[in-house]
Amino acid sequence: MFSRPGVITVLAVLQFIAAAVFLPAGAIAAIALIVEPPRDPVAIAGCLILLAGGVFMLLCGIGLWRLKSYGRILQMIGAGIGLLAIPLGTIISIAILVYLSKPGVKLLFSGRAP
């Protein structure tokens, strides 16, 4: 088994932290929608975005932690979305995309021996 680089560990932990915020927030929003049916469809959309985002981040964190190819792909999708967060998110997302595109990192997530 390969050693997980520090950058990948940090990205995985950040995904776990984000999931730990999004999933409970989505669950609370879902409970609120059940207790008091919404008059605005935006409330339902917000709840679904929180829950879907939380699941996405959790799966991404697990994939990164276990060095699975889907973790790298999900992180790249997330970084692609992060490009829209001008200016700081764009800079961070570019750095993540460049790092995850390096041949050594691709090989690490492929499961093949170097």
How far is it, in rounded angstroms, from Cα 9 to Cα 75? 12
The 3-state secondary structure of 18-78 reads: HHHHHHHHHHHHHHHHHHCCCCCHHHHHHHHHHHHHHHHHHHHHHHHHCCCHHHHHHHHHH
How far is it, in rounded angstroms, from Cα 100 to Cα 63? 13
pTM: 0.91
How far is it, in rounded angstroms, from Cα 81 to Cα 39? 29
Render pLDDT for 59-102 as a digit per residue (tens, 0 to 9): 999 999 999 999 999 999 999 999 999 999 999 999 999 999 99
Whole-number pLDDT of residue 28: 97
Render pLDDT for 24-58 as a digit per residue (tens, 0 to 9): 999 999 999 999 988 889 999 999 999 999 999 99
Q: Of 69, 68, 95, which Cα lies nearest the Cα of 82?
A: 95
Res. 1: pLDDT tops 90: no
How far is it, in rounded angstroms, from Cα 107 to Cα 114? 7
